Amino acid sequence: MSYEEWLSSTITDWLFFNSWWLLLPFIMLLVVAAFIVAFVLLLYMISPLISPKPLKLNGAHVVVTGGSSGIGKSIAMECYRQGAFITLVARDESKLVQAKKEVEKCAINDKQVVLCISVDVSKDYRQVESVIKQCQEKLGPVDMLVNCAGTSFSGKFEEVEVEVERFRSLMGVNYLGSVYPTRAVITTMKERRMGRIMFVSSQAGQIGLFGYTAYSPSKFALRGLAESLQMEMKPYNIYVTIAYPPDTDTPGLAEENRTKPLETRLISETSGVTQPEQVAKIVVKDAVQGNFNSSVGPDGYMLSALTCGMSPVTSITEGLQQIVTMGLFRTVALLYLGSFDSIVRRCMIEREQSKAADKRE
């Protein structure tokens, strides 16, 4: 072999060898991408096999606390449209009567019944247990309990009512008002090896915001209850859903707005207001499916993914989505938090400048 032929062969071999090295990263990227796609498809296919069997609402007995208005009434109407028998529980008898008439308009057959019970679910457990027993005797065992009784309040920490009674009352209504009805139905559900329990929390139960030092803790508490209860009840085919609705156009929001600090109002306006009918459709669907987290809208989805922590999942795909989106959502959340801090700081400066101007006058 001549020198020229040897040199040409050597250069050709070198180029061939190095071209593979240049292509290797792209080949590895394609292999990884193909593996991820195959893995996602596999998860998508097996996910229905490990998810709970959906609850059929047609003929089911659904108890809704706080069912005389707002989200609770809309949830009752949504369940009634799907053929459920409804027990409405609330304190105000006149509102209950009106709510019953509105729910009955959503009937899909003449066998459906709406039962009303007036009781404060946060005061006396024995009384709550008694009324739950009464409604089960009339309409059968409770298939789904919706804990929607609650109240809201916003105000600066140091300005909350004297002797911090507001903190005690909010924890009583928003937390114990869900504990007592749940305790009253859980034994029968375990015996039947089936059931759904929904806790209606709030996005303020996922993130603590200015003005919610009394309200947010009472809603955060529901998550701890829901997570612990789900671990206990899952072997009995009982599934817990915790819903995190945003600001919703209800009488409760109107009442809260009367005392809402400027900072809280400006922060709340960044996400807008949702209609109770929209919230009801989403949370009822999630409860029927047995999903643990129920969120509304893009902001709600992001918050649920960000705050999922050690919360249970009912499908592998849900867990994968949380893993994949966590970093991106955290980046977006930091931008939101920065804007919230800016609002608070700006309001403080304006308030101090106003006070200084008043003193000069």
Number of C-beta neighbours around residue 221 at 10 A: 19
* Pick from 273, 265, 322: nearest CA to 293: 322
Q: Establish whether 244 is a catalytic residue.
A: no
The most confident of the ranges 154-168, 186-200, 264-278 is 186-200
Going by pLDDT thresholds of 50, 70 and 90, the confidence category of residue 39 is: low
pLDDT more than 90, % of the chain: 58
Q: Is 201 a catalytic residue?
A: yes
Would you say residue 29 has pLDDT above 90?
no
Under CATH, which number does the domain 61-335 receive? 3.40.50.720
* pLDDT, tens digit, 9 for 90 and up, residues 201-247: 999 999 999 999 999 999 999 999 999 999 999 999 999 999 999 99
Q: How many CB atoms lie within 10 A of CB 179?
A: 20
Choosing from 74, 154, 178, 201, which is the catalytic residue? 201
Pairwise pLDDT comparison (237 vs 315), residue with the higher score: 237
Q: Please give the C-alpha separations between residue 215 and each of 7, 41, 155, 157, 244, in angstroms, as whole numbers.
A: 81, 42, 9, 11, 14
Residue 108 CB: number of other CB atoms within 10 A? 12
* pLDDT at residue 324, as a whole number: 84
What amino acid occupies position 208?
Answer: G
The tokens of 67 are what?
């069912």
Both ends of the chain: CA-CA distance in Å? 104
Which of 73, 95, 219, 260 does the annotation list as catalytic? 219
- CB-CB contact of 295 with 287 (8 Å): no
CA 7 – CA 287 distance, rounded (Å): 74
pTM: 0.83
3-state secondary structure of 122: coil
Tokens of 168: 């005690």
Predicted confidence (pLDDT) at residue 49 exceeds the cutoff of 60: no
Q: Which secondary-structure segment (H or E) carries 149?
A: none
- Sequence-distant (≥ 6) Cβ neighbours of residue 281 within 8 angstroms: 78
What's the mean pLDDT in 341-356? 87
DSSP-derived pairing of the beta strands 238-244 and 293-295: parallel
Q: Which residue is catalytic, options 80, 180, 212, 215? A: 215
pLDDT at 320: 79
Higher pLDDT, 132 or 323: 132
pLDDT band for position 42 (50/70/90)?
low
Question: Do residues 93 and 174 touch, judged by C-beta distance below 8 A?
Answer: no
Tokens of 77: 């109407």
**Do residues 232 and 314 lie in contact, with contact meaning Cβ atoms separated by under 8 Å?**
no
Query: What is the residue-wise DSSP string for 67-107?
Result: TTSHHHHHHHHHHHHTT-EEEEEES-HHHHHHHHHHHHTT-
Delimit the domains of the chain by residue range. 61-335
Express each pLDDT in 128-171 by its tens digit. Answer: 999 999 999 999 999 999 999 988 888 888 877 655 788 889 99
How many Å apart are CA 356 and CA 55, to the nearest integer?
62
Confidence of residue 189 (pLDDT cuts 50, 70, 90): very high
